[in-house]
Amino acid sequence: YVVYRAGEYEIGDVFITGLALDYLDDTASRPNVGYLLDYGTLTVLHLGDLGHVPDQSSIERMGQVNVLLVPVGGGNGLKAAEAAEVVALFEPNFVVPMHYGLPGLKFPLDGVEKFLKAMGVSKPHEMETLRVSPSDLPEQTQVVVLTPMALSRNTENGG
């Protein structure tokens, strides 16, 4: 299945809501769509290229979020301080930063370090995969930096 528009979808036991989330301005060539994945006992929210801090009513409509994937590197997406503000508004159990600069990346994005500083995190949880179950949700938000696939593949291939 490919879900790429706003709307409601049900795939197996997962209910997916595609949310039209505007960019910071109207110059974007395509709309930004965020995705709320409801697994029944857990919810995951992927904010896409969100470029502004949503208002409180928008956040309340999305409900409780256990895992939040948030853009943090600027560009079309949120800057680090804005991303930290969004995290504070949602109060998820886990936050996974995304859309940030990496060595060799051609897009001019800030690195994840600015976001970590804005969150007051000196040592994030770094892992290749985040596995979450309702029984082990932390009370305080934990920042999880996932190893980018290209970097983990290079390591596996010896370079």
- pLDDT value for 58: 84
Q: What is the DSSP string of the chain?
A: ----SSEEEEETTEEEEEEE---SSTT-SS--EEEEEE-SS-EEEE-TT--SPPPHHHHHHH---SEEEEE-S-TTS--HHHHHHHHHHH--SEEEEES---TT--S----HHHHHHHHT-SS-EEES-----GGG--SS-EEEEEPPHHHHHHHHTT-
Report d(CA 48, CA 24) in Å as an integer.
13
pLDDT tens digits, residue range 109-151?
999 999 999 999 999 999 999 999 999 999 999 999 999 876 5
**Pairing relation of β-strands 14-20 and 33-38?**
antiparallel
- pLDDT value for 81: 97
Question: What CATH class has 7-156?
Answer: alpha beta
- Which residues in the chain show pLDDT less than 50? 153-159
Q: Where are the domains of the chain?
A: 7-156
- pLDDT value for 157: 42
Rounded to two decimals, the pTM is 0.87
